[in-house]
Amino acid sequence: MTVTAADFQTPGPAKAGDERLAHVGRATRLLMRPELGALLGAIAVFVLFMATDATANHLWIHQTGFAAWTQQASVFGIMAVPVGMLMVAGEFDLSTGVLTGVTAIVMWFFMDKLHWNAWLAIVGTFAFAAVVGLVNGYVVVKTKLPSFIVTLATFFVLRGASVGGVLKLNAGSTQVSLTGSHYSGMASAKTIFGSSFFASKALPNGYQTADIWFVIVTIIGAWVLNRTTFGNWIFASGGDANSARNVGVPVARTKMMLFVATAMSAALVGIISFTQASSAVSEQGVGYEFFYIIAAVVGGCFLTGGYGSAIGAAIGACVIGMAFEGVIYAGWASAWDFTFLGVILFLAVGVNTLVYQRAMKARR
Amino acid sequence: MAQVKETPLLEMRGVSKYFGSVNALQDISLQVNAGEVTCVLGDNGAGKSTLIKMLSGVHSPDAGELLIEGRPVHLPNPRAAQAQGIATVFQDLATVPLMSIWRNFFLGNEPTKGWGPLRRMDVGKAKTIMHSELAKIGIDVRDPNQTVGTLSGGERQAVAIARAVYFGARVLILDEPTSALGVRQSGVVLKYIVQARDMGKAVIFITHNPNHAFLVGDRFVLLKRGRMMGSYLRSETSVEALTEMMAGGAELQQLSDELAKLADAPDIEEIAKEARELAQGAEG
């Protein structure tokens, strides 16, 4: 008798619960937005390093700390945003890290070996990267092989070429550099790409111009992804490529354009690092491709495609920048930053899984 | 009506399609008129899906031609078909579960505003249109940002149909819209079909359910193993005739005989007995 009574009561409260779910749904959906999750994570990491800051004047919360981690975050973020967008479209690019180094070497080659003006070299470097991206995209789209494999191949080709090419061109040295000040256009190129601003007594070295490029890339990425037709196609290409094709979305073209955009962003990072240092090392950037992917995942981009955020990826890059610098400020052995990133990645993947389940839960 | 029949809105003449050595479709001819429902009937593997994929620009025919208002057309991709006023509701609905309803509704046909690099989707307009279009077929969307993945099967079907009706100025193709639905929801979909017909659209309704077809159809085209078995007007046929032709009367009789034989076989009896014993054992 009691059992049947309980059985009869269950549907009542369950229904009321469903009604309430619909209302709470909106609030939680806001909380479940990819950017917001990443932002809360970033605040948590910031506070953690604020608490563990072991520097004499607690510089972490001062301009010094801010400039330090943004310097790291900017060059990660310029890549994390397009890499995240590519992930939303359902593709990976593992050649991004090494390409940031190779493009720096390419710029050196144009300037030192071909005696090009710096600005012409910059145009040439972007063009070189565009070709690499086009090859990546074309092979992925035409062969329908997983982009993971295709870009892994590109990664090894570029890595080998960067070592072999530099050794051959530079008489056995692994580092290439511009010596002297006779390179035309280099001064103005450095002002735009590789210098700093807002230098003050408190912050003698100022902030990197790369920070501005980071903001520009993030704004463009967020705009394209959320507000343009192309952005709609990116979500659809990764969410369900077949359905997208059936309603007239040019999936292949969308993916190829993203591969090109990602490679050209790598060129931007290469140009920034080369104008900063006037030098480049072979194998520079190798391994960074994983940081870009971690940043994108922390920012809420699904590894399976179809969902994600450019602003989230940018925040993810900030988390990585803070992790690298914060470990130094906390006085820990710098080897631990990898462990730290691994734990963050685990947490991010957990949050993303929750978001996915919520987005896919059928409301009947 | 007589005028329409002289030049059908959409016509296929002797169309064939091969996939490697497989003849998916051979020598198909059909005519579709505005304000009529043309039902394409056939069992699994009859070539129904291949047929609509050619009409919607997913595949190109290997032989024969497509005519719209008497003019031969080439539909190299779904966009070209859409431009000709042919809208298709695919069996898998062609919706992206992780995307919001309004993004799905306008996917591939996004309304834009602004110029040059500032050209962007007109989100407000998209949401307003989606809202009113879905209201027309009786669905009230509370939150346009809700993902399609959270909708039920019937609601998803409604979104896909509303989208096709909105964009398909002239021809609406529905691929097995009722196959995954219950009786009531099927009824709702059949109502959408009649609504679209009354709006003067040519509706092509692909199904393997002769009962559903006969409820709304004006013409019936039967496909079997990639060939046309016949084309009938409503006045020339009945539900029973359609069912019999689809299943193939002789084949059905053969199947019935085989089943009867199986039931007579002693080993079947044995197996059934063993099963009963096992079931009793499990209960005890």
pLDDT digits (tens, 9 = 90+) for B149-197: 888 777 887 888 888 888 776 898 988 887 777 777 788 788 888 888 8
Given a cut of 50, whether residue B4 has pLDDT beyond it is no
Q: Which of B58, B145, B150 sits opposite A362 (nearest CB)?
A: B150
The reply to whether A81 falls in a domain is yes
pLDDT tens digit string along A187-237?
999 999 999 999 888 888 899 999 999 999 999 999 999 999 999 999 999
A10 touches B: beta carbon within 8 Å? no
For residue B92, the distance in angstroms to the closest alpha carbon of chain A comes to 8
Residue A66, both tokens: 């801010």
Determine the average pLDDT of the residues in B42-57. Answer: 85
Task: Report, in angstroms and rounded to the nearest whole number, the Rg of chain A calculated over CA atoms.
Answer: 23
Q: How many domains, chain A?
A: 1
- The pLDDT of residue A34: 72
The reply to whether A52 falls in a domain is yes
The b-or-e profile of A4-25 (16+ CB within 10 A means b, else e) is eeeeeeeeeeeeeeeeeeeeeb
Given a cut of 80, whether residue A135 has pLDDT beyond it is yes
Q: Which residues of B touch A363 (CB under 8 A)?
A: 150-152
- Among the listed ranges A16-25, A66-75, A342-351, B110-119, which one has the minimum average pLDDT value? A16-25
How much is the mean pLDDT over chain A? 87
| DSSP H or E run through B29 | strand B22-32
- The pLDDT of residue B269: 66
Determine the average pLDDT of the residues in A329-336. Answer: 86
Residue A247, both tokens: 């309603």
pLDDT tens digit string along B201-240?
899 999 888 888 888 999 999 888 888 888 888 888 888 8
Alpha-carbon gap, residue A208 to A223, rounded angstroms: 24
* Closest residue in A to B143 (Cα–Cα): A26
> How long is chain A?
364
Task: Please state, in angstroms and as integers, the Cα–Cα distance from residue A171 to each residue in A175, A197, A301, following that order.
Answer: 10, 36, 44
Token pair 């990443």: residue: A38
Alpha-carbon gap, residue A313 to A79, rounded angstroms: 9
Token pair 């047929």: residue: B51
Q: Which long-range contacts (CB under 8 A, 24 or more apart) does A145-152 make?
A: A146/A92, A147/A91, A147/A92, A147/A93, A148/A92, A148/A94, A151/A92, A151/A93, A151/A94, A151/A95, A152/A94, A152/A95
Tell if the CB–CB gap between A229 and B112 is shorter than 8 Å.
Answer: yes
Task: Please state, in angstroms and as integers, the Cα–Cα distance from residue A323 to each residue in A36, A139, A346, B89, B244, following that order.
Answer: 19, 36, 15, 49, 72
Instruction: List strand residue ranges (DSSP E) for A22-174, in order.
Output: none
- The pLDDT of residue A74: 96
The reply to whether A27 falls in a domain is no
The reply to whether A338 falls in a domain is yes
Tell me if B52 sits within 8 A of B81, measured CB to CB. no
Given a cut of 60, whether residue B5 has pLDDT beyond it is no
Residue B236, both tokens: 């020339």
B111 touches A: beta carbon within 8 Å? no
Q: Which residues of A touch B159 (CB under 8 A)?
A: none
Q: Which residues of A touch B79 (CB under 8 A)?
A: 248
* Closest residue in B to A236 (Cα–Cα): B96
The reply to whether A10 falls in a domain is no
Tell if the CB–CB gap between B107 and A364 is shorter than 8 Å.
Answer: no
Tell me if A217 sits within 8 A of A81, measured CB to CB. yes
- The DSSP output letter for B118 is G
Tell me if A266 sits within 8 A of A98, measured CB to CB. no
Determine the average pLDDT of the residues in A150-172. Answer: 91
Q: A132-141, A242-251, A334-343, B73-82 — which one is most confidently predicted on average?
A: A132-141
A306 touches B: beta carbon within 8 Å? yes
Q: Which residues of A touch B110 (CB under 8 A)?
A: 229, 232
Given a cut of 90, whether residue A157 has pLDDT beyond it is yes
User: Which candidate, A231, A209, A211, places its Cα nearest to that of A220?
Assistant: A231
The reply to whether A363 falls in a domain is no
Tell if the CB–CB gap between B99 and A228 is shorter than 8 Å.
Answer: no
Given a cut of 90, whether residue B251 has pLDDT beyond it is no
Tell me if A359 sits within 8 A of B149, measured CB to CB. yes
Q: Where are the alpha helices (DSSP H) in chain B?
A: 2-6, 48-55, 78-83, 101-105, 123-136, 153-167, 183-198, 210-216, 239-247, 249-264, 266-283
Given a cut of 50, whether residue A21 has pLDDT beyond it is no
B90 touches A: beta carbon within 8 Å? yes
Position B6 confidence tier, pLDDT thresholds 50, 70, 90: low
Q: Which one is predicted more confidently, B85 or B249?
A: B85
To the nearest whole percent, how much of chain B has pLDDT over 90?
A: 15
Alpha-carbon gap, residue A1 to A336, rounded angstroms: 61
- The pLDDT of residue B266: 61
Q: Which one is predicted more confidently, B281 or A349?
A: A349
The reply to whether A306 falls in a domain is yes
How much is the mean pLDDT over chain B? 83
A239 touches B: beta carbon within 8 Å? yes
CB burial of residue B277 (10 Å; 0-12, 13-18, 19+): exposed
- The DSSP output letter for A194 is S
pLDDT tens digit string along A271-310?
999 999 999 998 899 999 999 999 999 998 988 999 999 9
Determine the average pLDDT of the residues in B240-258. Answer: 74
Query: Which residues, including other chains, have CB under 8 Å from residue A6's CB and lie 6 or more apart?
Result: none
- The pLDDT of residue A24: 46
Strands B22-32 and B10-19: antiparallel
Q: Which of A223, A227, A248 sits opposite B108 (nearest CB)?
A: A248
CATH of the domain at A226: 1.10.3470
Task: Decide: helix, strand or coil at residue B241.
Answer: helix
Token pair 């470990």: residue: A327
The reply to whether A93 falls in a domain is yes
Position B276 confidence tier, pLDDT thresholds 50, 70, 90: confident
Domain that holds residue A311: 35-176+185-357
A232 touches B: beta carbon within 8 Å? yes
